[in-house]
Structure 1
Amino acid sequence: MTDLTNTPTLHSVGFPPVIGDHPNILILGSLPGIASLTQHQYYAHKQNAFWRMLEALFHIPANTEYAVRCEQVKAARLAIWDVCHSAYRPGSLDSAITRNTVIANDINGLLAQHPSIKLLAFNGNAAASLFNKHIRLIQPISTLILPSTSPANASIPYVKKLERWSVLLNYRD
């Protein structure tokens, strides 16, 4: 008999959004990877640059407790969510997401509840591609594709990613 207790789940289910009262920017990833699912945290992989990016741009300390980071995300008028509510995916690579198994999050519903959101910022091309395939916006909103903070996107140096991500500062009140 095979022991499956340490086998990562292939059908991944994401997390609820991290969102405060009046966010300006919704940062959308694709679907949490194994490290994130295991730790019940967005962008939990140690080599993912997401939290370092938010520290550099919005002064949210990357090494503080997750709950504190989430509160600071809300205070910075940011929101974090994923395009996918769930999907079949062996491993953590976005390229392994089986596209016809994707169940999308209700992005339109979130935008209706939070009309202060002015920008959808995609954390990588995969998130943007999944969004374009599975979601039709009810109302127009600005979108921006940013370089993925994933360690799988190592071809772009952190400094270049940070430079591209810094455009988010233009959408703050």
Structure 2
Amino acid sequence: MPATPPAPVRSFAPIEPPQARVLILGSMPGVASLTAGRYYAHPQNRFWPIMGRLIGAGPELAYERRIEALCAAGIAVWDVLAQCEREGSLDSAIRDDTAVANDFAGFFVRHPQVRTVLFNGAKAEQSFRRFVLPGLAAAPELRRLPSTSPANASQADAAKCSAWREALRDAGVAVRD
């Protein structure tokens, strides 16, 4: 008897402040995030600790306050994929043949001032380049950063934070030293 394919998983609506200048993209929320209904909800994901150090949006704040800090800094957050099939949370388990991208043409019409897209890891970049970029009339600056996922434990937190600090500064976001 053939195995039953996993049910499709769906991403969240974007965090998209009207004044967004930077868009941070993941690939697809993991199981912990989907369960919580929040971006980067896995307790070992380094996204919120890094955002805490850089813009004051740390995990000690209520989720709504973290979102407010991102928005105040001009940072939008989304995922490349609107839907896909995947067992578990690993990006490597995403079945590309089931991937459906979010509506980035619409996003960039709503946010023409977004000039920089920062990818939270390799899979987000690969998916964007494959499923989104060919359909865009013009592309913003694209930059891959070290994944904040707990699956990316090979790189030290200090190195990840430094890379994120540099990228956000380069994109015009006021970050803490």
Q: Give the TM-score normalised by structure 2.
A: 0.90
What is the distance in 1 between the residues matched to 2:59 and 2:147?
A: 17
2:71 to 66, 70, 74: 74
Identity %: 39
1:141 matched to 2:169? The reply is: no
Deviations 1:27-51 (A, max 9, x none): 0000000000000000000000001
SS in 1 for 2:128: helix
Please state how far the C-alpha of 1:19 moved relative to its aligned partner. Answer: 1.2
- Please list every run of at least 4 consecutive aligned residues from structure 1 whose deviation after the TM superposition is greater than 6 angstroms: none
2:93 to 91, 96, 100: 96
The residue number in structure 2 matching 1:110 is 107
2:118 to 112, 118, 121: 121
SS in 2 for 1:126: helix
- 5+ residue gaps, structure 1, are 1-8
- 5+ residue gaps, structure 2, are 1-5
SS in 2 for 1:101: strand
Q: Where do residues 22-37 of structure 1 align in structure 2 (5 Å cutoff)?
A: 22-37=19-34
Please state how far the C-alpha of 1:61 moved relative to its aligned partner. Answer: 2.7
Q: Is the 8 A contact 1:11 1:87 kept in 2?
A: yes
Q: Is the 8 A contact 2:122 2:144 kept in 1?
A: yes
What is the distance in 1 between the residues matched to 2:16 and 2:74?
A: 8
SS in 1 for 2:97: helix
Q: Which moved more, 1:123-132 or 1:137-146?
A: 137-146
Q: Give the TM-score normalised by structure 1.
A: 0.92
Aligned positions, number:
165
Please state how far the C-alpha of 1:105 moved relative to its aligned partner. Answer: 0.3
The residue number in structure 2 matching 1:51 is 48
SS in 2 for 1:102: strand
